Amino acid sequence: MGYNLLKGKKGIIFGALDANSIAWKTAERVHEEGGEFVLTNAPIAMRMGALNTLAEQTGSEIVPADATSIEDLENLVEKAQEILGGKLDFVLHSIGMSVNVRKGRAYTDQNYAWTEKGWDVSAVSFHKTMQTLYKKDAMNEWGSIVGLTYMAAQRVFPDYNDMADNKAFLESIARSFGYHFGKEKNVRVNTISQSPTPTTAGQGVKGFDGFIAFAEKMSPLGNATAQDCADYTVTLFSDLTKRVTMQNLYNDGGFSNTGVSREVMDAFVKDQE
């Protein structure tokens, strides 16, 4: 159900791959709320995914961009403004990748060339995107930029590997750039720390199914879905959250503030019987 929360707003959505992606669900919700956007992803991801379907469904154009390339980002920001007819009101950064995870290298045995690649794609690309927007003065006043993160930035989840470091860096960039973007342009920058979500990217993490089940048992409201995240992102893109900035916002059913739950305790007690 739409409330027209984003009527007249324009933006860029990074990272939609397939119907499981948080970015995909967010694009659908933004469209329902009256927002218009350009979709973008790296050319290799576009070959793997089904972005054309989403573009047709939401009446959007696609501008391919490697988010680690300043040249690609400059082209993207210019083209998006041409296509949408003006400055931008919202940007979603929904990108993350670890070559070490993908190729099964342990945290204690990293290939550092892969580490740097993952760090560039997952975190530095957020800075590069914002710096490009900032230098081109491409955001409208009271615009909103959102990055997606995970609680491994604060706590240890051993198999999340070097992605944990990438997310910690991403959150720091959101705070630091959020200050400058707020001070100079009245633009807000936040990250959403989402429950483990069965996206194509998420499922690459070792032991992911067990992990989702554990988080579900720990969270009083259960895990937040990709759809829940899309809804939350819409509120952050809307004018209802004008003074929320430099925050890392947990959308996780209460997981982040739960020490232990009855269900988890019961599972351990059963094991000891």
Q: Is the pLDDT of residue 271 over 80?
A: no
222 belongs to a structural domain: yes
From 49-63, 93-107, 115-129, 202-216, the region with the lowest mean pLDDT: 202-216
Handedness of CA 135, 136, 137, 139 (dihedral sign): negative
The tens digit of pLDDT for each residue in 26-67 reads 999 999 999 999 999 999 888 887 999 999 999 999 999 999
Q: Has residue 236 been placed in a domain? A: yes
In the structure, what pLDDT confidence band is assigned to residue 273 with cuts at 50, 70 and 90? low
Of 14-23, 27-36, 156-165, 197-206, the range with the lowest mean pLDDT is 197-206
- Quote the CA–CA distance of 168 and 158 in Å, as a whole number: 15
Could you report the per-residue pLDDT of 224-261, keeping only the tens digit for each? 999 999 999 999 999 999 999 999 999 999 999 999 99
Determine which one of 150, 179, 232, 250 is catalytic.
Answer: 150
CATH number of the domain that 31 lies in? Answer: 3.40.50.720
Q: What is the pLDDT of residue 201?
A: 72
- Strand 188-194 relative to strand 61-62, pairing: unpaired
Does the annotation list 22 as a binding residue? yes
Phi, psi of 259 (to 5 degrees): -75, -50
| 167 annotated as a binding-site residue | yes
Residue 232 bears catalytic tag? no
Nearest residue to 214 via CA among 272, 253, 186: 253
Helices (H), 33-124: 43-48, 51-58, 70-84, 99-102, 112-119
148, β-bridge pairs: 192
Burial of 135 (0-12, 13-18, 19+ CB in 10 A): exposed
The catalytic position among 107, 112, 160, 250 is: 160
End-to-end CA distance of the chain, in Å? 49
The pLDDT value given to residue 73: 98
Say if 246 falls within a structural domain. Answer: yes
Q: Is 270 known to sit in a ligand binding site?
A: no
The reply to whether 2 falls in a domain is no
Residue % of the chain over a pLDDT of 90: 89
* Cα–Cα distance measured from residue 245 to residue 145, given in angstroms and rounded to the nearest whole number: 9
The pLDDT score that the predictor gives to residue 155 is 96
Of 66-70, 87-91, 268-272, least confident by mean pLDDT is 268-272
pLDDT at residue number 206: 73
**107 catalytic residue (yes or no):** no
Q: 141, 187 in Cβ contact below 8 A?
A: yes
- The burial class, CB within 10 Å (0-12 / 13-18 / 19+), for 246 is middle
Q: State the pTM of this model.
A: 0.97
User: pLDDT, tens digit, for every residue of 111-150?
Assistant: 999 999 999 999 999 999 999 999 999 999 999 999 999 9
Residue 191, beta-bridge partner list: 147, 248
**How many angstroms separate the CA atoms of 35 and 60, rounded?**
10
Q: What does the alpha-carbon distance between residue 147 and residue 178 come to, in Å, rounded to a whole number?
A: 11
In a domain, 1, yes or no: no
The reply, when asked if residue 122 is annotated as ligand binding, is no
Residue 25 domain-assigned (yes or no): yes
Dump pLDDT digits (tens) for 170-188: 999 999 999 999 999 999 9
Which residues are paired to 145 by β-bridges?
91, 189
**Domains in the chain, number:** 1
DSSP label of 123? I
Helices 112-119 & 163-185 angle (0-180, nearest 10)? 30
* CB of 109 closer than 8 Å to CB of 53: no
What number is the average pLDDT over the span 88-99? 97
Beta strands (DSSP E) in 100-177 are 139-149
Question: What local confidence, expressed as pLDDT, does residue 25 receive?
Answer: 98
CB atoms closer than 10 angstroms to residue 239: 11
Is 3 inside any structural domain? Answer: no
Confidence tier at 21 by pLDDT (50, 70, 90): very high
Range of the domain at 125: 10-272
pLDDT reported for residue 44: 86
Cα–Cα distances (Å) from 93 to 1, 25, 220, 231, in that order, read 24, 13, 28, 15
Q: Say if residue 95 carries a ligand binding annotation.
A: yes
